[in-house]
Chain A
Amino acid sequence: MSGAVLLAVGVCAAGTYALRALGVLLASRVTLPEAVQDLVGRGTVVLLLALVATSTLFEGGGGAGAARPAGVLVAGVLAWRRVPFVAVVLVGAGTAAALRAVGVP
């Protein structure tokens, strides 16, 4: 069992490093026109925000309940109002924790 699992971790590590390296190698090979660089920058925002949305709403195969989305929503509002970063994150987590403490899933 241990041998197969070690192989799995090893291949996963090598593959993940290769993906990270490929992105950087591509960036050093290709010089993109300004308009395309702008598009890549926009793509980063799209990727990260999509990650925020899916990891807020889903857990494993199902929904993530209500406490986490509520916490992230509160954090989003605070960030929009330019509340300092640390407060945004702590209040977001605190909101989720408080809701769970009173029985919200």
Chain B
Amino acid sequence: MFILANMRSFWRTPLVRDALLVAVASGVVGVAFGAVATSTGLPWWLVLLSSLVVFGGASQFLLVALLASGAGVVAAVLAALVVNVRFLPLSFAVAGSLPRGRARWLALHLVTDETVAFARARGGASAFTLLGVAQFACWNVGTLAGVLAAGAMGDTAAWGVDAAFPAALLALVLPALADRAVRRTAVAGCALAVAATPVLPAGVPVLLSLLALGPAALQLVRERGTRTAQVAS
């Protein structure tokens, strides 16, 4: 009885509930990925494998679409990797929330936009691991369901799943925008990324948004310069 009551309160924790919501949404996108990828004629085991070993939704969709359109393997892989370059700065930023020791090498694989945003918004390690494990499980189960249901499935866009992701990320990031300087930089970064999207390959515009940090970075360098000069004199 006690265990039951404890379990019930566990599921009702806001942290767990919110992580599950994001993970389930991932699962639904995974279903779409599995179905789309299978319908392009890729072998089913390869579709499952890509969800297990890449675990990056946007890059997986792009890789499959490019391979199906007859683009060369090299071009397809490069394009998919460019989409994932953002994981470098993101994992740099979330490094403090990863477990220590050997578990770290496994946990690395769970760095996604959502886990980083969740760890940032909900204070760290347990939030990261909770969502990471749940999202990984849902993404792969979803892919499997999509592979099995390929062809028999309706359009997931009808459920608004495509709006759920930006909505969740936005809700997680929004509190950070209360700071005026952060808000200004972030809005400038968004403008850069949006302006660049029609002309640059997928993945690059998001990275370009980091240029908005330029003025702040320059100021930092200048301040350090004056401090060093003061110490010298």
Contact = CB atoms under 8 A, between A and B. Distances in A.
Interface string B192-217: 11100110000001111110110011
A19 B173 contact: no
A22 B104 CA distance: 13
Given A49-B190, A51-B169, A92-B167, A85 B210 contact: no
Contact of B111 (A6, A23, A40): A23
B181 to A, nearest CB: 8
A25 B192 CA distance: 29
Interface in B163-185: 163-174, 176-177, 181-182, 185
Contact of B163 (A6, A8, A16, A71): A71
A47 B194 contact: no
B46 A47 contact: no
B81 A85 contact: no
Interface stretch (B3-11, B52-60, B133-141, B143-151): B52-60
B177 A101 contact: no
Interface residues of B, number: 91
B86 A93 contact: no
A86 B171 CA distance: 10
Contacts of A8: 63, 67, 73, 76-77
Contacts of A71: 160, 163, 167
Contacts of B54: 9, 12-13, 16
Nearest to B79: A12
Interface of chain A: mostly helix, strand, loop or mixed: helix
Contacts of B85: 19
A55 B169 CA distance: 11
B166 to A, nearest CB: 4
A20 B58 CA distance: 15
B160 A93 contact: yes
A89 to B, nearest CB: 5
A93 B28 CA distance: 12
3 smallest A-B Cβ distances: which pairs?
Answer: A23-B91, A92-B167, A50-B209
Interface of B: 14, 17-18, 21-22, 25, 42-43, 46, 49-50, 53-56, 58-59, 63, 65, 67, 73, 76-77, 80-81, 84-96, 98, 104-105, 108-109, 111, 113, 116-117, 120, 157-174, 176-177, 181-182, 185-186, 189-190, 192-194, 197-198, 205-210, 212-213, 216-217, 220, 223
24 contacts: A6-B46, A8-B63, A9-B50, A16-B81, A21-B108, A23-B89, A26-B88, A45-B173, A45-B185, A45-B186, A46-B185, A48-B117, A48-B173, A49-B173, A59-B162, A71-B167, A72-B170, A76-B170, A79-B174, A86-B21, A89-B21, A89-B25, A93-B160, A93-B161
